[in-house]
Amino acid sequence: MQLSDESAPIGLFDSGVGGLSVYLHLAKQLPNERYIYYADTKNVPYGARSSDEIVRFTLAAVSWLYEQGCKLIVIACNSASAYALDQARKLYPQLPIVGLVPALKPAVLASKTKHVAVLATQATLTGKLLNQVITEIAQPLETSVTKCFDPQLVPWVEAGMPAQDVTALRLSERLDEFHRLGIDHLVLGCTHYPFFKPILQTQIAQQNLGITVVDSGAAIAARVQQLLAETAPPSYRQLTLLPSDTISSPMLDFYATNYYPGIGDLVQSLISQPVRLLSEQSIAYQ
Ligand code: DGL
């Protein structure tokens, strides 16, 4: 596969702002790229939706990003990847499409207690990608996988993670419970969750809970970098793989299916960089 236009943007898609946690890894790893982000804020959260709905929304997003001329698309949503990755790839066989699966494999391989937890949406927990890793990796290594979800976590992140919310308290109680169960690795199986990883790590350190928190962001950025290196000509490789400390933040264009009040501020606070909010028209005419 050869990239059609090396200067074309990389597309990212999530039900909401969660995929920005993946964008942060990409921006660090590939700072010379242009990025375009599609947040389906009209339909977030996806977690409790039917597989048919998730497929329909995901294919609409992928089609939109494809029409913007993206050279590679990251489905930066575990729930969407669980149900629609195969179909998206079938529809666009010439386009590299990277999907997300919770980082269960590295957690299982590193677990000493042979008990790990996956915190994800209901869709991801029942979807085939995660369950394949359980069957192929966790079971042969006799490692127990405790699946858990809280339907309020995604809305809590979308609301900017207010500290006084009862969701924060429930999260803290969950960590204590994981510790009691002898869980030594917690997999954040939803791209919204790395935004509260520092809160979890602070509690783990303060109470000495001995739990390592893992997510897939860095591995996804490495996979994208590898795909670009494989598909781009050598001149392009030299340009995009410059060390990240030589460059400031890359350009991010952000498109949402619903621009609720405060969304621009939320995005800027999550990624600590200015962002350009796009309407569909501004893309069509730029
Ligand atoms: N960021 C999405 C994921 O990784 C959240 C899904 C949702 O909208 O519930 O699964």
CB 116 within 8 A of CB 141: no
pLDDT score of 237: 53
pLDDT score of 244: 46
Query: pTM score, two decimals?
Result: 0.92
Q: Report the atom number in ligand 1 closest to the C-alpha of 192.
A: 1
pLDDT score of 250: 74
Of residues 120, 84, 132, the one with CA closest to residue 215: 120
**70 annotated active-site:** no
Please check whether the two domains, 10-100+217-282 and 104-214, share a CATH topology.
Answer: yes
CATH level 3 topology of 104-214: Rossmann fold (3.40.50)
pLDDT score of 283: 58
pLDDT score of 43: 97
In words, the CATH class of domain 10-100+217-282 is alpha beta
CB 253 within 8 A of CB 278: yes
pLDDT score of 234: 60
**190 annotated active-site:** yes
Tell how far the Cα of 194 is from the centroid of ligand 1, in angstroms: 12
Distance between CA 41 and CA 262 in Å, rounded?
A: 12
Q: Which residues of the chain have pLDDT under 70?
A: 1-4, 233-249, 280-286
Segments making up each domain of the chain, as ranges: 10-100+217-282, 104-214
pLDDT score of 278: 87
Q: Which of 53, 83, 85, 124 to mutate to test the pocket of ligand 1 (most atoms within 8 A of CB)?
A: 124
Q: Active-site residue among 101, 190, 214, 224?
A: 190
Distance between CA 18 and CA 20 in Å, rounded?
A: 5
Of residues 106, 79, 119, 99, the one with CA closest to residue 199: 119
Q: Which of 121, 152, 188, 220 to mutate to test the pocket of ligand 1 (most atoms within 8 A of CB)?
A: 121
Tell how far the Cα of 178 is from the centroid of ligand 1, in angstroms: 22
pLDDT score of 84: 97
Amino acid at 220: I
pLDDT digits (tens, 9 = 90+) for 1-17: 545 677 899 999 999 99
Residues with CB under 6 A from ligand 1: 14-16, 18, 44-47, 77-79, 121, 124, 154, 190-192
Tell how far the Cα of 8 is from the centroid of ligand 1, in angstroms: 26
CB 190 within 8 A of CB 124: yes
Tell how far the Cα of 45 is from the centroid of ligand 1, in angstroms: 6
Distance between CA 259 and CA 261 in Å, rounded?
A: 6
Q: Which of 57, 192, 193, 196 to mutate to test the pocket of ligand 1 (most atoms within 8 A of CB)?
A: 192
pLDDT digits (tens, 9 = 90+) for 82-132: 999 999 999 999 999 999 999 999 999 999 999 999 999 999 999 999 999
Helix, coil or strand: residue 110: helix
pLDDT digits (tens, 9 = 90+) for 124-146: 999 999 999 999 999 999 999 99
pLDDT score of 279: 77
Q: Active-site residue among 26, 73, 77, 120?
A: 77
Tell how far the Cα of 155 is from the centroid of ligand 1, in angstroms: 10
